[in-house]
Copies of this chain bind each other. A is one copy, B any other.
Amino acid sequence: MTNARQFELRDDVTVELVKASASDADVIWSARVSTQGERSLEYLDADPERSEGLIRFLMRDRHSVPLEHSVFTFYLEAPIFVTRQILKHRISSISEHSGRYSELTGAFYIPSRERKLVQVGKTGDYNFVDGTDEQYVLTLHNLETAYQAAWDSYTNMLNLGISKEVARVCMPVAAYSSMYITVNARSLMNFLSLRKIDERSKYPTHPQREIEMVAEKMENIFAEKMPIVYKYFNEFGRVAP
């Protein structure tokens, strides 16, 4: 019986780099073609540190296309309410697990104790603050009660012979999904600018904490692969070029 399987609670997200064709050097030859034509080919293996000034200029003045030749593919596990938000960024290629084609694994998101629970202020002007221990305990209790009911209904319906695509509609947006995301450096910086709070940002952003957890992990990978671009992304206010 499917019903016997237990569901799992998680308070984290998974982000792994599957592959990347991305480096600071990509920005050099692709920018140089506009002024040097075929001689830009000489920069294919050049040391990008010697051209740091060019990268600084491109990022400062928001020249964008040279940032599009570097591409990353990430593997991601996150709750559906996060993957929905990711889908709204249209300039990427996303292959996602489907609850129509295979059974959901039964992993659900719960906030960790560090996750601020209470919103103070109103739409357009608000902050989040920690909740009390009681609020946290009751939140977990309410979430788990709902998850248990959803999981029971889901497995009951599967056992009754109902199709997966119908049975899964009772599952919460806290259920984990998995996906591959292929995105270029320009689009990735746009994602980071909107989904990660950073005091260096020129424009305010209010991402939900859980998508920010995804953005933080992607940002670490981006910083490692393209350190010079990353440096000036921050220096010039984290505005995607």
A interface residues (Cβ-Cβ under 8 A, vs B):
18-21, 29-31, 33-38, 40-41, 44, 57, 61-62, 65-66, 68-69, 71, 73, 75, 77, 79-81, 83-84, 87-88, 90-91, 93-102, 105, 109, 111, 115, 117-119, 123-124, 128, 131, 135, 138-139, 142-143, 145-150, 152-154, 156-157, 160-166, 168-174, 177-180, 182, 184, 203-204, 208
6 A-B pairs with least C-beta separation: A149-B149, A68-B93, A21-B21, A119-B163, A146-B170, A142-B153
A87-B87, A117-B163, A170-B172 are known; give 11 further A-B pairs, CB within 8 A: A33-B97, A38-B105, A41-B75, A69-B93, A69-B180, A135-B162, A138-B157, A142-B153, A146-B153, A148-B149, A169-B172
Given contacts A87-B87, A142-B153, A174-B170, contact A131 B79 (CB under 8 A): no
Neighbouring B residues of A98 by C-beta, 8 Å: 34-35
Neighbouring B residues of A171 by C-beta, 8 Å: 172-173
Tell me the smallest distance from the CB of A86 to a CB of chain B, in Å. Answer: 9
Question: CA–CA, A209 to B169, complex, Å?
Answer: 13
Q: Is the CB of A208 within 8 A of B123?
A: no
- What is the interface of chain A mostly: helix, strand, loop, or mixed? mixed
Q: Is the CB of B153 within 8 A of A170?
A: no
Neighbouring B residues of A71 by C-beta, 8 Å: 21, 71, 182
Question: CA–CA, A177 to B40, complex, Å?
Answer: 13
Neighbouring B residues of A81 by C-beta, 8 Å: 99, 168-169
Question: CA–CA, A65 to B156, complex, Å?
Answer: 33
Question: CA–CA, A91 to B187, complex, Å?
Answer: 13
Given contacts A19-B21, A65-B93, A145-B149, contact A105 B37 (CB under 8 A): yes
Question: CA–CA, A37 to B75, complex, Å?
Answer: 10
Given contacts A123-B101, A172-B172, contact A156 B138 (CB under 8 A): yes
